[in-house]
Amino acid sequence: MEWGDREPARRHGAAESGLPGAPIRRPRFAAGTAGRPVSVGTAAGAGTTEIVTSFDGLESSWWTLAQAAGQPFASLEFAALWWEHFGRGRLTIGVCRRPDGEIFALLPLYRDRRGSLRVLRFLGHGVSDITAPVCAPADSQDAWVAARQLLTGHPGPRADLLVADHAPSGPPAALPGTRSSGGGGQQSFANTAVKGLGLAGPLPGATVLRREAAPVLRTGGRSWAQLLTGFSRNLRQQVGRRQRALARAGELRVRLTTDADRLPGDLDLLFTLHARRWGTAGAFVGTANAFHRDFARVALARGWLRLWVLELDSVPLAAWYGFRFADREWFYQAGREPAAEEHRVGFVLLTHTIAAAVDDGVTEYHFLRGSEPYKYRFADATMELLSLVWPHDLRGRLAVAAARGVLRGPASWRARIARAIGR
């Protein structure tokens, strides 16, 4: 795999005064209603969770909690635009409060019927690399307890299954050995007990359908030059040699998209270069294309967008798409011209984005889902992402068993069950 490639995953509001950037288009959803609050036991004592069916009135709390969560997929902008483009069923947002009334977590969920199954699922699946409660890491355990309780129908209608795609099991953990030691990756598990999800303590009844690695480079306050000294000699030589070779081949330019008028054209370049690498299996096909155009526009206005284009003699050869959020860099996707593979344009652009992020003072550079070997030459930690289901009743347990292949039945029936829970 070419350096800088990221294999595509199988991807299926109003402005508020005081928030940075320009307003976003208000998504289409029903007027907000609130359900009856229900008591929930938390580590800090009894709290309450209520259900609302609109994003209205949550802007300030959502902004604060998304910053505490530290990742762009937790933002209201991402959730609201996802709901506009992909939403179906009924928006079901859990608002979790401490006994003193403070909102400590938001549960961005929706309820939908998939055949006879009633599914409660986090917003964002299909295009988000992380779906989880919107809260500070220290409040993660309490938020998961509240999410699981919503299955019982207190408050709101009962569901057969709660589905969470790519939920972090905890903060990034240091990799054993050197940066080039590798490891991680996607694995399948028949039935694994979940311990923690952010804090110590069990979440009974959950089934892990999939584990994935998300490599991370932690900067530790060091400059790019300082970080380079910790990489292998071979990698250090490649960083310098490949950039110099490309510069000798023509006039090399790497530019960052900062102009809203230029954004549509640069997105066209990204999508085209990505499609040349991945074809119809790419991450920007169908509805996802329109979603990313809208979110990139909002992210640019907010100051989150990082869209880099590498040109040689004014010809675009590679593009890198990601976000800077909460002092962290997030590498989402990239594209390159296959005909320029000999110049290692993907690798040159990738190292440029890392160097720029590190020297700008980010605390972490996230490569996100995927265990491609090149990531582990840079990363010194990895974050484990779990795809989880919680069955509530017999129907839910049968669905999980069918998806795991444990329960026999017609292939078409088992396939429908698997699709319902995102397998």
Summarised one tens digit per residue, pLDDT across range 350-401 is 999 999 999 999 999 999 998 899 999 999 999 999 998 888 877 877 887 7
pLDDT class for 115, splitting at 50, 70, 90?
A: confident
What pLDDT is recorded for position 10? 38
Give the number of other CB atoms < 10 A from CB of residue 1: 11
Residue (of 380, 366, 341, 382) closest to 235 by Cα position: 380
What pLDDT is recorded for position 404? 67
Q: Which of 38-42, 73-77, 260-264, 339-343 is predicted least confidently?
A: 38-42
Contacts of residue 175, defined as CB under 8 A and 6 or more positions apart, other chains included, come to: 181, 183, 376, 379, 380, 381, 382
Mean pLDDT of 400-416: 59
> In sequence order, which ranges of 54-159 are alpha helices (DSSP H)?
59-69, 76-86, 140-149
Q: How far, in Å, CA of 390 to CA of 234, rounded? A: 46
pLDDT class for 3, splitting at 50, 70, 90?
A: very low
What pLDDT is recorded for position 196? 46
> In sequence order, which ranges of 70-201 are alpha helices (DSSP H)?
76-86, 140-149
Highest-pLDDT range among 57-61, 182-186, 283-287 = 57-61
What pLDDT is recorded for position 183? 34
- Residue 338, CA distances (Å) to 136, 274, 335, 341, 376 in order: 41, 10, 9, 5, 23
pLDDT class for 418, splitting at 50, 70, 90?
A: low
Question: Cis peptide before 155, with omega less than 30 degrees from 0?
Answer: yes
What pLDDT is recorded for position 103? 97
Q: How far, in Å, CA of 384 to CA of 387, rounded? A: 10
What pLDDT is recorded for position 248? 95
What is the percent of the chain with per-residue pLDDT over 70, rounded to a whole number? 76
Delineate the domains of the chain, giving CATH numbers in brackets: 224-382 (3.40.630.30)
What pLDDT is recorded for position 25? 44
* Mean pLDDT estimate for the chain: 82
What pLDDT is recorded for position 277? 81
Tens-digit pLDDT profile for residues 259-269? 999 999 999 99
For residue 165, pLDDT over 60 is answered with yes
- On whether the CB atoms of residues 232 and 179 are closer than 8 A, the answer is yes
Q: How far, in Å, CA of 254 to CA of 237, rounded? A: 20
Scan for tokens 């081949």, then name that residue: 249
For residue 201, pLDDT over 90 is answered with no
Decide the pairing of beta strands 381-391 and 173-174.
antiparallel
Amino acid residing at 177:
G
Instruction: Give the DSSP H or E segment for 166.
Output: strand 161-168
Q: How far, in Å, CA of 159 to CA of 396, rounded? A: 9
Tens-digit pLDDT profile for residues 266-313? 999 999 999 998 877 678 999 999 999 999 999 999 999 999 999 999
Q: How far, in Å, CA of 110 to CA of 72, rounded? A: 19
